[in-house]
């Protein structure tokens, strides 16, 4: 019970922190430099300029509307993951917008695009890492995917670039280009944040001394291993290939130990984006505990 409470509290902190960073990026870099962007904020900029609707009010109304849509189409479970962002983001945005010290940090639009893009990508990434959503325009792509099997990423890009095009009405070509660069920047950062700490190295080792190498990985590196039946292409020798997943910090030690056992070992190293299971996404069981 205590573990679940700590886990939920951790998720709550991440959601609040991510939305705060997202809102701070808009206030610090996007608004002062008259930059345009996609998402709910981009729509808010459009309605603020065209119809003089306050951005905080629009974000509140739009987020609630999208939350309602997600609730009825995607279900209660989805709604619970977005309810915090739906109400907290407009709240913290309104507060940060009233702090003069956060505005005018830089007048360089390119620097604002880079810094703003990094912060937006990092903020959204933190929220998505805990399985939550920032709400807003994230919801329509999910609805389209459920109803018409349209790719979420494709529809999200279409929506974002449509929002950018709407802002051409009050923006010049240069601002639109900066807007596209901003979207690309925070998309790249978002992808990196989602994979942060999850990427590992997959190692395949072909050697006649596979048993010694296998025991070395288990006993000295304290990593799990899998033995795969393999046949060499030239001599048709049947051997067992050792498969293991390690961190990048362990690679140098593994190479050294393998070469000590068999200098002729054939080693294949490749990066994998995510690993799930015992020792990675599940609690590790050490070799000494299995005796």
Residue 1 pLDDT > 60? no
How many CB atoms neighbour CB 238 within 10 A?
Answer: 9
CATH 3.40.366.10 fits 200-290, yes or no: no
Stretch (H or E) spanning 39: helix 39-51
Instruction: Name the band, by pLDDT with cuts 50, 70 and 90, for residue 168.
Output: confident
Q: How far apart are the first and last CA of the chain?
A: 30
pLDDT of 188 > 60? The answer is yes
Token pair for 165 = 């095009």
What residue spans define the domains of the chain?
2-195, 200-290
More confident: 152 or 170: 170
More confident residue, 6 or 66: 66
pLDDT of residue 116: 92
Q: Is the dihedral of CA 254, 259, 262, 266 positive or negative?
A: positive
Q: Which of 27-31, 85-89, 225-229, 285-289 has the lowest mean pLDDT?
A: 285-289
- HSE toward the beta carbon, residue 164, CA cutoff 13 A: 21
**Helix pair 251-261, 210-219: axis angle to 10 deg:** 140
Q: Would you place residue 244 in the very low, low, confident or very high pLDDT band (cuts 50, 70, 90)?
A: very high
Q: Is the pLDDT of residue 119 over 90?
A: yes
Instruction: Output the six-digit token pair for 280.
Output: 């990675």
Please determine, for residue 73, whether its predicted confidence score (pLDDT) is greater than 60: yes
pLDDT band of residue 263 (cuts 50, 70, 90) is: very high
pLDDT over 70 (residue 5): no
Mean pLDDT of 281-286: 55
Tokens of 8: 């939920």
pLDDT digits (tens, 9 = 90+) for 130-155: 777 777 887 888 788 778 877 666 77
Q: DSSP letters of 205-243?
A: EE-TTHHHHHHHHHHTS----EEEEEE-TTT--EEEEEE
Q: Helix, strand, or coil here: 130?
A: coil
Q: Which pLDDT score, from 0 to 100, does residue 232 have?
A: 78
Higher per-residue confidence, 125 vs 199: 125
Give residue 282's pLDDT. 55
Give the position of tokens 């505005």.
103
Q: Which of 143-147, 163-167, 178-182 is predicted most confidently?
A: 178-182
| 243: pLDDT strictly greater than 90 | yes
Closest to 205 measured CA to CA, from 148, 245, 161: 245
Percent of the chain with pLDDT over 90: 21
**Mean pLDDT confidence for 77-103:** 83
Residues 6+ apart with CB under 8 A from 82: 67, 70, 132, 133, 134, 135, 138, 139
Residue with tokens 């065209």: 50
How confident is the model at residue 242, as a pLDDT? 92
Closest CA to 22 of 100, 88, 104: 88
């Amino acid at each position: 019970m205590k573990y679940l409470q700590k886990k939920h509290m951790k998720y709550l902190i991440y959601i609040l922190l991510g939305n705060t960073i997202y809102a701070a990026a808009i206030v610090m870099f996007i608004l002062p430099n008259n930059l345009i962007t996609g998402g709910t904020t981009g729509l808010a900029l459009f309605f603020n300029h065209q119809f003089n609707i306050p951005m905080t009010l629009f974000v509140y109304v739009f987020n609630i509307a999208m939350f309602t849509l997600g609730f009825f189409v995607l279900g209660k479970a989805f709604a619970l993951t977005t309810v915090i962002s739906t109400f907290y983001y407009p709240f913290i945005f309104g507060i940060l917008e009233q702090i003069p010290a956060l505005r005018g940090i830089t007048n360089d639009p390119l620097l604002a695009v880079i810094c703003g893009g990094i912060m937006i990508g990092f903020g959204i990434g933190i929220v998505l890492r805990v399985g939550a959503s920032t709400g807003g325009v994230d919801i329509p792509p999910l609805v389209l995917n459920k109803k018409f099997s349209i790719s979420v990423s494709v529809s999200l890009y279409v929506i974002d670039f449509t929002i950018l095009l709407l802002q051409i009405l009050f923006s010049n070509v240069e601002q639109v280009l900066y807007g596209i660069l901003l979207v690309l920047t925070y998309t790249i950062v978002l992808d990196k944040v989602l994979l942060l700490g999850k990427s590992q190295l997959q190692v395949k080792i072909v050697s006649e001394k596979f048993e010694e190498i296998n025991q070395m990985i288990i006993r000295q590196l304290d990593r799990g291993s899998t033995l795969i039946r393999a046949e060499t292409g030239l001599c048709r020798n049947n051997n067992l290939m050792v498969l293991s997943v390690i961190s990048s910090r362990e690679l140098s030690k593994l190479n050294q130990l393998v070469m000590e056992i068999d200098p002729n070992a054939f080693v294949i190293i490749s990066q994998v984006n995510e690993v799930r299971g015992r020792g990675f996404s599940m609690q590790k069981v050490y070799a000494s505990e299995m005796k």
